[in-house]
């Protein structure tokens, strides 16, 4: 009940689902892997099944995140919110604090119009995460410190950025082709510009600091997710 009470502080409609004892519910839209995970009674095997999928698709790109989850996951739950399903990861960090991270259903349909129109231009590895692992993976309470859901991806050209008035040199990304997939919750974004995004080249974009260019998208995402855990 303590966990449920915590979750409901941020979403009154959220529920934890017992898949094995749930009847008359349509789970056709969730990945078959999720059914296997939550029908499995052994928690260690649940973790293995789930993280094998992470490793299969982005084992190199998210190696630190996967290693941390292997060592620190203490529980997994299937969540339901008005017919939409996600996985809740309960993570115990080095200070003994339990953190809740949500990974949404990769089979979700998203409604981010600009991103839909350009989805095929986004890096294959980024699309793989969203289509094969989760539609975002982030700290539950703030929906940040992780890859946000596709409906929450920031299209840079839709916003007024005050920092632009302070940058003397031409910016090295095109705001019209740039999307912030990772948010740190404090005005920092890991941005993929599909016009200049070969080999997962990305930028750090800030509300109030100069951008950092020519970073590797996954190197920063992997590092920042683990920083968030700690």
What local confidence, expressed as pLDDT, does residue 26 receive?
65
Tokens of 58: 């982005």
Helical segments of the chain, H only: 2-10, 32-39, 43-58, 63-72, 113-118, 124-128, 217-229
Tokens of 92: 């115990």
Q: Where are the domains of the chain?
A: 2-150+217-229
Backbone dihedral region for residue 187 (phi beyond 0: left; psi -120 to 50: alpha; all else: beta): left
**Cβ(31)–Cβ(106) under 8 Å?**
yes
What local confidence, expressed as pLDDT, does residue 208 receive?
80
Return the SS3 of 13.
coil
Tokens of 227: 């920083």
Whose tokens are 């948010």? That residue is: 183
> Mean pLDDT per segment of 10 residues, for the chain of length 230 residues?
89 88 69 93 96 98 98 96 93 95 94 92 96 97 96 90 75 93 92 91 89 94 96
What local confidence, expressed as pLDDT, does residue 44 receive?
96
What local confidence, expressed as pLDDT, does residue 1 receive?
65
Q: 215 forms bridges with which residues in the sheet?
A: 202
User: How many other C-beta atoms can be found within 10 angstroms of the C-beta atom of residue 108?
Assistant: 19
| CA atoms of 197 and 121, how far apart (whole Å) | 9
Strands (E) across the chain are located at 15-17, 73-81, 84-92, 98-104, 137-139, 144-147, 154-155, 178-183, 188-193, 201-206, 212-216
User: How buried is 229 (Cβ within 10 angstroms: 0-12 exposed, 13-18 middle, 19+ buried)?
Assistant: buried
State the pTM of this model. 0.93
What local confidence, expressed as pLDDT, does residue 151 receive?
94
Return the SS3 of 224.
helix
What local confidence, expressed as pLDDT, does residue 25 receive?
61
């Amino acid at each position: 009940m303590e966990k449920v009470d915590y979750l409901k502080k941020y979403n009154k409609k959220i529920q934890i689902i017992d898949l094995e004892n749930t009847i008359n519910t349509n789970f056709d839209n969730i990945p078959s892997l999720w059914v296997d995970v939550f029908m499995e009674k052994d928690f260690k095997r649940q973790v293995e099944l789930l993280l094998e999928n992470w490793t299969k698709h982005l084992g190199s790109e998210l190696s630190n995140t996967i290693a941390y989850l292997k060592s620190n996951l203490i529980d997994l739950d299937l969540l339901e919110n008005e017919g939409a399903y996600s996985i809740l990861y309960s993570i115990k960090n080095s200070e003994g604090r339990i953190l809740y991270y949500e990974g949404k259903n990769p089979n979700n349909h998203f409604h981010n119009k600009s991103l839909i129109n350009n989805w095929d231009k986004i890096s294959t590895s980024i699309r793989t995460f969203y289509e094969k692992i989760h539609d975002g993976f982030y700290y539950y309470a703030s929906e940040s410190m992780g890859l946000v859901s596709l409906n929450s991806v920031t299209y840079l050209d839709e916003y007024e950025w005050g920092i632009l008035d302070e940058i003397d040199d031409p910016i090295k990304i095109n705001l019209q082709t740039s999307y912030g997939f990772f948010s740190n919750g404090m005005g920092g974004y890991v941005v993929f510009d599909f016009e200049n995004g070969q080999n997962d080249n990305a930028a750090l974009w800030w509300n109030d600091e100069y951008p950092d260019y020519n970073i590797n998208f996954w190197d920063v995402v992997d590092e920042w997710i683990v920083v968030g855990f700690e």
